[in-house]
Amino acid sequence: MNELLEWLKQTDNLRIIDEELDVELEIPHIAYVEVKKPKSQVLLFTKPVNKKRGITYDIPVIMNLFANFEVTKHILSKDPDEVAAEIEKLLHMKPPGGFMDKLSMLPRLFKLKNVFPKKLSKKGECQEVVYRGEEVDLDRLPILTTWSEDGGPFITMGQVYTTSLDGQMQNLGMYRLQQYDKRHLGMHWQIHKDSSHFFDQYKDAGKKMPVSVAIGGDPTYIWCGQAPLPYGIFELLLYGFMKNKNPQLVKSLTNDIYIPKDVDIVIEGEVDPSQMRIEGPFGDHTGYYTLEEPYPFMKVTAITMKKKPIYQATVVGKPPLEDKYMGWATERIFLPLLKTTAPELIDYAMPENGVFHNLILAKMKPHYRGHAKQFMHAFWGVGQMSFVKHAIFVDEKAPELEDYEKITDYILNRLDPKRILISEGVVDALDHSSPESLEGGKLGIDCTGEEVERRDYELISDEQLLQAMRTIDSDIVDLCQYKVGTSNPVTFISINKTRPVKELVADLSGLKKHLKVLIVVDASKNHLDTPYMLVWRVANNIDAKRDIALEPFISVDATNKGKLEGFDRRWPGDVECDPEVLERLRERGLLEIDEEFKRTFLL
């Protein structure tokens, strides 16, 4: 960490803030705004306090460690595409045919010996300071409360280390951890996570589950913790592969879990599978609050740390945030592994404003009719890809997937209702829009092949179309047309909803000669001239099976759902900054934002 800090200073990627700032809202709000800037910096807060509880911490807080592409590459030691190329070579390695072939393989094979973690018999620097028994107190740590409606303070960048019941498998995961009091942490283990599988083993056996949570050290640890590796593969193997050196592990003091020797802080404990506790709400990376649910919790048995630790944290909410850069690295590095299931896959992208698992763009080389639909089913059946809600496929002639203007044109010029697949399957535990938790609609769009003709369409101005619509329904507030030069122009309308959107769409059928794709959002908290955030809203707010209709034109209901639609689940609120905190920070010269910035990113 000290080496990283020095490099960050030299490259103007570090901003040190020496003013006293509150761990409740103030520090997270500064980090939230910073990472939305075009060239964001890593932030080091040297004087964290908790004003409400009268605590002054002697541990600094570092945030936005994955601040931009340059910093992310440096943390990972190389460009993610280089790592992907190395993985692809290994996947296609063939038995050597002769002596020279064997010699040429040696460098790769020698590198693999550095993949495996090395367990040390001595203590690590993470155990220089030890608190046990009555000395255990989570209030020693500057744990942040990020959002006004959060259920309490949460550890947001904890490396959670667990083992299977038989001790044969280890796991490193990244889960939010709610602090309940001085000695208890919530474990937000979603059902598809490896730690949740291990938890089930301990529960069936009636045994308590050991857990160690590490904070800090090499930031690559935390990136490995969120990597979508297959079940049973210890994530630190990826660390060894990328860094070309063995991860050095030491045993926790009060359980048998091994953790990296150079992390800053370790929280050791155990989980009683027979006990649960309400966790949340929590403003999550979807940009919405995750609602309260029962989850396991850990009783802390020891806290160890370096003599001069740094507390590592992140902030989650509406994009863009640092998970944009973490997700970019994951996306590039795991492309070769995804190709093993879908060989004709050329590339893919998961835009951060599609919240990653809610939207995927994929480029493929189709060989026959229906090939793209086959890919859709393959994606929805592969590991964490099974949680992707909306998948759009283009062919090898398409522009670069990250060129969003051009790729959008390419898609809209090939969009055909006959090539749209609406299915259903498993969805992420954080998804709020589907009628049932963990299960919902899936959307697949085949935009491979030739352009479609724009038939039976007449373009009129936004003002004319809005006036025509308002004569039909006065609840319509605003209208904006996008991509009018393509085969399928997109019309957004915002409404003050007083009836189901399906009824509105039916009444607008008389205007179908002016409509190809109609997307409906709530007038509240949406601006039709901010397409980046509109994509975020739509990707989050729809269940394809309920909210998409293909006649009389393609329509998408991206409004919040409730009693009008017979939606029985509680719809969560948007994650939003506290305006008083923002203003206070601005007056102190710690934030530089204007009304346009707040409007653009829906602060």
Catalytic residues: 284
Using left for φ > 0, alpha for ψ between -120 and 50, and beta otherwise, residue 25 falls in: left
Of 513, 515, 506, 503, the C-alpha closest to 493 is 515
Of 196, 554, 544, the C-alpha closest to 380 is 544
- Two structure tokens written together for 4: 């990283």
* Phi and psi, residue 72, nearest 5°: -60, -45
CA angle 297, 65, 171 (to 5 degrees): 40
DSSP state of 145: B
CA 297/CA 300 separation, integer angstroms: 10
Amino acid letter, 396: E
- Two structure tokens written together for 221: 């640890």
Chain centre to alpha carbon of residue 279: 19
Residues 6 or more apart whose CB falls under 8 angstroms from that of 18 comprise 46, 47
Helix pair angle (69-76, 323-333), 10° resolution: 50
* Phi and psi, residue 408, nearest 5°: -65, -45
Q: Which helix or strand (DSSP H or E) is residue 294 part of?
A: strand 293-295
Distances (CA, A) of 484 to 306, 350, 491, 518: 59, 25, 9, 13
Distances (CA, A) of 59 to 45, 133, 374: 9, 21, 52
* Phi and psi, residue 203, nearest 5°: -65, -45
Beta strands (DSSP E) in 388-511 are: 390-395, 420-426, 439-446, 476-482, 490-495
Helix pair angle (80-91, 323-333), 10° resolution: 30
* Phi and psi, residue 426, nearest 5°: -75, 145
Beta strands (DSSP E) in 447-512 are: 476-482, 490-495
Beta bridge partners of 587: none
Residues 6 or more apart whose CB falls under 8 angstroms from that of 244 comprise 111, 114
Q: Which helix or strand (DSSP H or E) is residue 410 part of?
A: helix 404-412
The alpha carbon dihedral of 192, 196, 198, 204 has a sign of negative
